[in-house]
Structure 1
Amino acid sequence: MECIVHFTVGHKEGPKKLRGLIFVDKGKQPTGQQLLDMFHDMEYNVVPDERDELLFKPAAPDATYTYIRVNELDMGQERYTEDRNLKSILNELIPRKHTGL
Structure 2
Amino acid sequence: MECIVHFTVMNEEGPKKLRGLIFVDKGKLPDSSQILEMFHDMEYKVAQDTDDELVFRPVDAGEKYKYIRVNELDMGKDKYTEDRNLKSIVTNLLPKGPTGL
The alignment partner of 1:18 has SS state of strand
Q: Which amino acid in 2 is paired with 1:15?
A: P
Number of residue pairs the alignment of both structures matches: 95
State the TM-score, normalizing by the size of structure 2: 0.85
Give me the identity figure in percent. 66
The alignment partner of 1:38 has SS state of helix
> How has the CA–CA distance of structure 1 residues 50 and 95 changed in structure 2, closer, same or farther, with 3 Å as cutoff?
closer
Give, in whole Å, the separation in 1 of the partners of 2:76 and 2:26: 11
> How has the CA–CA distance of structure 1 residues 87 and 20 changed in structure 2, closer, same or farther, with 3 Å as cutoff?
same
The alignment partner of 2:34 has SS state of helix
Q: Return the offset for 1:73.
A: 0.2
Q: Runs of 5+ in structure 1 lacking a partner? A: none
- Name the structure 1 match of 2:19: 19
State the TM-score, normalizing by the size of structure 1: 0.85
Q: Which amino acid in 1 is paired with 2:14?
A: G
Runs of 4+ aligned structure 1 residues displaced above 4 Å come to 94-97
Give, in whole Å, the separation in 2 of the partners of 1:29 and 1:95: 27
Q: Runs of 5+ in structure 2 lacking a partner? A: 96-101
Q: Which amino acid in 2 is paired with 1:8?
A: T
Question: Radius of gyration: which is bigger?
Answer: 1
- Name the structure 1 match of 2:98: none
